[in-house]
Amino acid sequence: MHELGIVMNVLEQADAAAAEYNAEKVMKVTMEVGEVSSIVPDLFIDAFNWAKKKTDYLKDAELEMIIIEGRTYCKSCGGTYRTTEHGKKCPYCGSVDTYLLTGDQVIIKDIEALFKEATGGGPDPSE
């Protein structure tokens, strides 16, 4: 189960951030996931909803995934194209001397959390 390992990392990091900022609980996690990152969004969300029950702060959290389009750059002709349509081979000149510009990222963008106090919100300076 490929997605589960990554979900565990996301939950650990979000749980740690919630503790650091003294949040009551996390309502939502927003991620940016590239379409060629090898993550299947439906499986990822299922794994998230199963594994979140074991966290301290994310038991009721929902997950939003922003999908980032895969774009590849061709070193031979300078063109860019959609990776999922053409893969490694440039559709303009046929070269395979290409590299991925964007679309393989797996990023935790932000978390929306509930706070008891209306002030503060940063890490406790006394720690």
Partner 1 sequence: MEVRTILLSKSVFEDNDRAADELRAALRRKGTVLVNVMSSPGAGKTTLLVALIRRLAKSRRIGVMEADIDSDVDAVTVAKETGCPCVQLHTGGMCHLDAGMTGQGLRELGDGFDLIFLENVGNLVCPAEYDTGATFSMVILSVPEGTDKPLKYPLVFQKCDLVVISKTDALPYFDFDLEECRRNVGERNGGACVIPVSAKTGENMDALENWFIKKLTEV
Contact 70, 104 (CB under 8 A): yes
By CB under 8 A, name the one of 41, 45, 86, 110 that touches partner 1: 110
Instruction: Round the CA-based radius of gyration of the chain to a whole number and report it.
Output: 19
Q: Is 116 one of the binding residues for partner 1 (CB under 8 A)?
A: yes
Q: Which of 41, 36, 32 is nearest to 110 (CA)?
A: 32
Would you state the structure tokens that stand for residue 124, as one six-digit string? 């406790």
58 interacts with partner 1 by CB under 8 A: no
- Give the sign of the dihedral formed by CA 96, CA 71, CA 64, CA 110: positive
Q: Which region, judged by CB under 8 A, interacts with partner 1, from 16-24, 47-55, 59-67, 68-76? A: 16-24
127 touches partner 1 (CB under 8 A) = no
Binding residue (CB under 8 A) for partner 1 from 85, 118, 124, 126 = 118
Q: Report if residue 121 touches partner 1, rule: CB under 8 A.
A: yes
